[in-house]
Structure 1
Amino acid sequence: MTPTYISRRVIVERLSQLNHLIGEIARLPLHDGGAFFADSRNVHTAESCLRRALEALFDIGRHILGKGYGVPAGSYRDIATLLAQKEVLDRGEEKRFAQMAAYRNRMVHVYHEVSSAELFRVCVEDLGDLTSIRSAFQRWIRDNPHRIDNPLTDADGQA
């Protein structure tokens, strides 16, 4: 792969989706397990939003690697490793993102082993990991404007 420019549109869309999904999770009754489990839709919302939020983060990471560096990533765990090698993530963020890759894979491939109680715990205790990696990406983008394509413009060509 040859490095080109990272698409600002792709990054903005994925970050917007990520923010929306984190907000949806935060609106669940995470302060009260009884209320959370009283309505099965909460579990389904948590699972769907968490899985999609993870996908959005990995899409951003894969896009940065592919477009910005011309580096393909074979697996979700590879994305974390390669982002650290390119200094997009620090070693602590790499470790956290690799754990998120493993959890994403469990949610997709062995979903039947992910309990409702586990989803609740992850939403209560680990939601900050999503925002931490989001912040790392935002930091890298802010520090590397030369790797981003032209800013988004409206229909009149205005930024």
Structure 2
Amino acid sequence: MINKTLISQRLELINCWLKNLKKLSYLSYEEFISNNINSAAAESYLRRSLEAIFDIGRHLLAKTGNIEMAGEYKSIAKGLASNNFVSNDLGKKLVQMAGYRNRMVHFYSMVTEKELYDILLDNLGDIEQFTIEIKQAILK
């Protein structure tokens, strides 16, 4: 059985971290890189958001009999779309997010301030869209 309380709690965390990421997105690039705490905070909030997204996905897939899709991050992304928890468009973006999550965790020394800043400007809407679609699918 899907634990709606767990889902709701994870979505609240994502929304909290998303607010902090949005605050960082209001900085100019020069302001962003002027203090290394900004990029560290962006990386931390982004990584935590991605982990929570995939925790939610893993839970949904496991609890709906799709345990084989609940292992790898890209499988979770594809499984969420194929089981109509999220749209196909968002599912494709989640596959990209899974790849970036792996980059942040395993190739952390290669993550640049510029790419983090670009994500702040261009991709936070995808995280927000995830929260909207999951709420619509699960917390109706």
TM-score range, shorter chain: over 0.9
Percent identical residues: 38
Extract unaligned runs of 5+ from structure 1: 144-159
Q: Which residue of 1 aligns with 2:100?
A: 103
Q: Which residue of 2 aligns with 1:24?
A: 20
**CA–CA distance in structure 2, aligned partners of residues 16 and 8 of structure 1:** 12
Query: Does the 8 Å CA contact 2:24/2:120 hold for their aligned counterparts?
Result: no
**CA–CA distance in structure 2, aligned partners of residues 29 and 102 of structure 1:** 22
What is the Cα-based RMSD across aligned positions, in Å?
1.2
**CA–CA distance in structure 2, aligned partners of residues 136 and 125 of structure 1:** 19
**1:92 shift after superposition:** 0.8
Stretches of 4+ moved more than 6 A in 1?
none
What is the TM-score when the length of structure 2 is the normalising length? 0.93
- State the structure with more CA Rg: 1
Q: Which residue of 2 aligns with 1:11?
A: 7
Q: Which residue of 2 aligns with 1:148?
A: none
Query: Does the 8 Å CA contact 1:21/1:49 hold for their aligned counterparts?
Result: yes
Extract unaligned runs of 5+ from structure 2: none
Partner of residue 35 from structure 1, selected from 31, 35, 40: 31
What is the TM-score when the length of structure 1 is the normalising length? 0.82
**CA–CA distance in structure 2, aligned partners of residues 70 and 33 of structure 1:** 45
Return the structure number with greater helix share: 2
* Residue correspondence of structure 1 range 1-159 to structure 2 within 5 A: 5-28=1-24, 30-67=26-63, 69-72=64-67, 73-143=70-140
**CA–CA distance in structure 2, aligned partners of residues 22 and 56 of structure 1:** 12
1:71 is aligned with what amino acid? N
**1:51 shift after superposition:** 0.3
